[in-house]
Amino acid sequence: MPKLSVIVPFYNVRQYAPDTLMSLRTNARPDFEFVLVDDHSTDGTPALLERAAEELADVVRVRYIRRERNGGLATARNTGLDAARGEYLTFLDGDDWLAPGHLSELVAAIEELGCDFVRTDHVQATARARSVHRIPVGMRNEVLNPREAILPADRTTSVDYAYAWAGVYHRRLLERGLLHFTDGLRTAEDRPWIWKLHREAESFAVAGLLGVFYRRGVASSLTQIGDVRQLDFIRAFDQVVEETAADPDAGRLLPKAVRTYCAVIAHHLSDTDKFEPAVARQLRAMSAAAIRRMPQDALGDVLETMDMRRSSKLRRLRRRITTAKAAG
């Protein structure tokens, strides 16, 4: 069994994949496994991956998988998870990169701490600018209860730092069904995933490591494209709320889920100019329907405590629903 499997999905990232692949080489060990998943790229990425798989095979175990059709990041990651054989697992996106030796440091951290998963900070790279982004958990190198790290509801917490690639995960989580993503989600795929992990895993820690470089502003990234795929955040957060509502501790946890959902809706409503006009209309309609589905008691409490700018947007949407129902 490999010590670590690194799952790396690629989709039309020919410009950036060489940096990603070079950083994998600087992290290679004979007991590591790199699972390279091409999500049916059309830009020459597959040729790069085929060549890299051959070259990396001299220093590390490599699995190269080319999907027959594009399924999105969540589905591509699941393809990699199904093929991975490592004792520990981690992720990297096909346009990001790692500092030399980072993967060995990850493995050392989780073995020393002996917990289900370890999260890390990361460096955001926007063109030539670099900025450090830290997971909002104060205690470092201490084993903690993942469920307690979901709260408090009115602060940024660990479930808001949803980056799957900022950490390493024990194989027992995969065997318990906690590492797969919701198939077909095109955006916000990390949100139901991180909530499930924090609700159901038994232990985690935050390590003081800073070796993942997250590339922002990539033209092909869904965060830069205002098409209908962006609206998958509705389906993602519907899942978060539904699963959290079924949790035995829903009374404590559900306000946080509703508050985060509301904040993300308000964010998108403030940025409708990036969407195609038809998609912007669909966003408003789907957001109104989402508010109608939310637990109304929790929603009322959230609107009372949320800042005025965001709450006013959501209140207008809520009033529109109430008015339409009364007219009907």
Three-state secondary structure along 234-300? HHHHHHHHHHHHCCCCHHHHHHHHHHHHHHHHHHHHCCHHHCCHHHHHHHHHHHHHHHHHCCHHHHH
**CA neighbours within 13 Å on the CB side: how many for 259?**
21
pLDDT for res 3 = 98
Percentage of residues in the chain having pLDDT higher than 90: 87
Output the average pLDDT for the chain: 93
Question: What is the pLDDT at residue 328?
Answer: 46
Name the residue with higher pLDDT: 325 or 310. 310
pLDDT of residue 313: 87
What is the average per-residue pLDDT within 86-108? Answer: 98
The whole-number pLDDT of residue 260 equals 97
| Mean pLDDT for the stretch of residues 18-34 | 98
Please report, rounded to a whole number, the percentage of residues in the chain having pLDDT higher than 70.
Answer: 95
Query: Model confidence at 265, in pLDDT bands (50, 70, 90)?
Result: very high
Cα separation values, 321 from 61, 278, 287, Å: 55, 20, 11
Residue with tokens 């926007």: 126
* Chain Cα centroid distance, residue 165: 8
pLDDT over 50 (residue 78)? yes
Residue 73 three-state SS = helix
Q: How far, in Å, CA of 132 to CA of 135, rounded?
A: 10
pLDDT at residue 165 greater than cutoff 60: yes
Q: Find the angle CA(148)-CA(154)-CA(156) to the nearest 5 degrees.
A: 70
| The model's pTM | 0.93
Which helix (H) or strand (E) element contains residue 109? helix 102-113
Report the C-alpha gap between 237 and 81 in whole angstroms: 23
pLDDT confidence of residue 218: 67
Give residue 181's pLDDT.
98
